[in-house]
């Protein structure tokens, strides 16, 4: 809806557009708007020129860029837990994606070790939707590599019997993108 600032009267209203949480004006007088998982480009009378639906996302902010494209920020839901992770997208003037979170090299430490500390066996769980190869290295506190594993899955099994009790540092590297996750794990002594 566009309202006349002086009178408060509605200039135009379009109910075909859902809830809007952010909008900006383009250099040529159009309106880029976003809400939920949708992005809209509207003409100066509120008519929809195009819209994009981005599954499993929420866009909190959208802006026009100096080159006539758009940038959107918000979050997306990942995995079965539906964890919210930050998202940054760039689209061209027609709403086609030109860059995403990986292109901006945003590092998200997305992992869980269940249980931690390790009593007998634990799982290191991490996001790997594309099935990229990951290399896991476990270091003792002297910096010595005490375990290496490779996987195309989304988990690594940690077994207590392979290590002495204490704190360990791990590094998990995506061998395709080079992204690295670092973390700590504790191995408990047997009772």
Tell me the per-residue pLDDT of 54-100, one tens digit each, with 9 for 90 and over. Answer: 777 888 888 888 888 888 888 877 766 677 777 778 888 887 777 65
- The answer to whether domain 2-99 and domain 111-187 are alike in fold is no
Supply the pLDDT for residue 148.
Answer: 95
> pLDDT tens, position by position, for the chain (191 residues)?
555 556 666 555 555 556 778 888 888 889 888 888 888 888 888 788 888 887 778 888 888 888 888 888 888 777 666 777 777 788 888 877 776 544 443 344 568 888 888 888 999 988 887 889 999 999 988 788 999 999 999 999 999 888 899 889 898 998 988 888 888 899 987 66
Residue indicated by tokens 């940054």: 88
**Domain map of the chain by residue range?**
2-99, 111-187
Q: What architecture is domain 111-187? A: Sandwich (2.60)
Q: Tokens 């509605």 map to which residue? A: 10
Long-range contacts of 51-56 (CB under 8 A, 24+ apart): 51/17, 51/95, 52/91, 52/95, 54/89
Q: State phi, psi for 54 to the nearest 5 degrees.
A: -110, 105
Please state the φ and ψ torsions of residue 161, each to the nearest 5 degrees: -60, -20
C-alpha torsion 73→96→51→42, nearest 10: 80
Residue 175 per-residue DSSP state: T
First-last CA distance in the chain: 68
Fold entry, domain 2-99: Thrombin, subunit H (2.40.10)
Mean pLDDT estimate for the chain = 80
Q: Taking the alpha carbons of 97, 103, 107, 112 in that order, is the dihedral positive or negative?
A: positive
In angstroms, the CA 2 to CA 125 distance is 48
pLDDT computed for residue 4 by the predictor: 57
Whole-model pTM above 0.75? no
> What gap in Å lies between CA 64 and CA 157, rounded to an integer?
45
């Amino acid at each position: 809806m566009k309202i006349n600032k002086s009178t408060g009267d509605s200039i135009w209203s379009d109910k075909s557009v859902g809830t809007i949480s952010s909008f900006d004006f383009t250099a040529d007088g159009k309106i880029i708007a976003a809400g939920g998982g949708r992005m809209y480009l509207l003409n100066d009378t509120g008519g929809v020129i195009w819209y994009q639906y981005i599954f499993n996302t929420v866009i909190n902010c959208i802006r026009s860029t100096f080159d006539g494209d758009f940038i959107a920020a918000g979050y997306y839901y990942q995995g079965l837990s539906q964890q919210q992770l930050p998202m940054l997208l760039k689209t061209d003037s027609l709403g086609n994606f030109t860059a995403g979170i990986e292109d901006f090299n945003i590092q998200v430490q997305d992992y869980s070790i269940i249980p931690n500390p390790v009593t007998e066996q634990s799982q290191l769980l991490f996001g790997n939707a594309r099935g990229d190869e990951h290399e896991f290295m476990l270091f003792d506190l002297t910096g010595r590599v005490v375990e290496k594993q490779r996987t195309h899955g989304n988990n690594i099994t940690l077994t207590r019997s392979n290590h002495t009790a204490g704190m360990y540092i791990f590094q998990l590297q995506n061998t395709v993108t080079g992204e690295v996750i670092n973390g700590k794990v504790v191995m408990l002594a047997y009772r």
